[in-house]
Amino acid sequence: MRTLLKGGIIVTDTQISRGDILIEEEKILAIGDFKDSDADKIYDVSGCYVMPGGIDPHTHMELQQSPDYRSVDDFYTGTVAAAVGGTTTILDHIAFGPKGCNLHYSIDIYHELAKKSVIDYGFHGVIQEVNSNILNELNDIITNEGIPSFKAYSTYGYAMTEVDFALLLRQMKISKGILTIHCENDAMTRYYQSECIKNEQLEPIYHAKSRPNMTEAETVDTLLSIAKMEGDAPVYIVHTSAKESVKRIELARMIGQKNVYSETCPQYLLLDESKYYKEGPIEGTKYLMAPPLRTKEDQNYLWKAITKGSIQTIGTDHCPFMFERDKRKAANNFTLAPGGIPGVEERMIILFSEGVLKNRISLNDYVSITSTNAAKIFGMYPQKGSLAPQSDADIVVIDPNKTGVISVKSQYSVCDYNTYEGLTVNGEVHLVFSRGKLIAKDRQFCGAKGDGKFIYRMLS
């Protein structure tokens, strides 16, 4: 079976050209100028941008955040939402297991959960404690099981110490893995939260006030210093939200530190802390997440950081909970709701509309941050994130001439609200192919449950 995408504007992380893409079965066969007779199925994509399918390096499908709260999109509904939005691969952050469990405990569970995925997927393992058994197991998984990336936290129930981080980063360098890190100073956020509670400052805005910019930036600085001490061990800062954090990342690179990577999310580029109070505290509960929404000044700095290459990827941190059932009760006490928002469905078109079409980023930057860089950092390139012969035919076609409005009424996520409700977007995700198969057309899903495959990854 051969499929021809004809007459599109082909965009990669480095080039823009006009031409055709010929697909054979699951792979890109060739790029050039072809006759209709060369293919069994032809799609006229003239006037449209043809790009590598999106890679979301940060999702939380079916995340058991606590005994009371589980994210509401599973690996089926969440990946359908991703697919219609132009994302063809996700890397999901695994949830904590019971105290004292090994690394395989949650990985084994997630292998089962993900079997219903409609797009390809991989996992970031999760680390809850550090000892010799865990370090040995970590090496085995990285070396033999196609999961070279793991997440550790500086906060929450299994916060790592500085020594823990040093041991993990040392092992990552030895085993050719990469450590992804949630950076917030646990002691200070707990202190500021206790002060808010004591002073009866409990509206959603105080969630942000209890996690100021410097609680993130200080921990970023600490982790980069530890990574430097461990011989430039590879470190990836998830959901970078504060300008001060980016400045510390930029400084580390400026003085020669290698293997430093940074991710941000659409919410930190488009939304600001006024969401916590502008429409009242009940509406403000929709945006409870960690790190919290920041200021417009932070937004502007993040956009500029993308163009400078200071931020390499944009994930969503997709972790939705129901507004009516889970969130709104926190209107008078921000500590009562689970943290997390939806976003996997909207990432690609929002960044195209708000980034490319508003001249904040170039088309090449767009491909880099939504696909290619994540593929390179996490060991999937050139199988993923590439438009080249023998790469997987994961392709998104965007029509820049159409306009839409984002709404919960038309979304595929089962969440009962949309983070970007009412936002007008210019451009539309027209066609989405996963390994050569059409899985979405004009926001209509046409893929199949279970078609996604686990991606065996290995870092060079």
Tokens 């040995």 belong to 136
What whole-number distance in Å separates Cα of residue 98 and Cα of residue 294?
33
| Residues 246, 240 contacting (CB under 8 angstroms) | yes
Output the pTM of the full model. 0.98
Q: Is 443 left (phi over 0), alpha (psi -120 to 50) or beta?
A: left
Q: At 43, give phi and psi (nearest 5°).
A: -120, 120
What whole-number distance in Å separates Cα of residue 432 and Cα of residue 89?
12
| Residues 142, 176 contacting (CB under 8 angstroms) | yes
- Interval 369-405: pLDDT, tens: 999 999 999 999 999 999 999 999 999 999 999 999 9
Q: What share of the chain is helix, strand, coil (3-state, %, to 5)?
A: 35, 25, 40
Listed as ranges, residues in the chain with pLDDT below 50 are: none
The CA–CA distances, whole Å, from 376 to 17, 107, 192 equal: 22, 23, 38
What whole-number distance in Å separates Cα of residue 162 and Cα of residue 262?
20
Q: Which domains does the chain have, with CATH numbers?
A: 52-377 (3.20.20.140)
pLDDT number for residue 460: 85
The CA–CA distances, whole Å, from 140 to 175, 195, 418 equal: 9, 44, 40
- Interval 129-173: pLDDT, tens: 999 999 999 999 999 999 999 999 999 999 999 999 999 999 999
Q: What is the CA radius of gyration of the chain?
A: 21
pLDDT number for residue 166: 98
Three-class SS state of 268: helix
pLDDT number for residue 379: 98
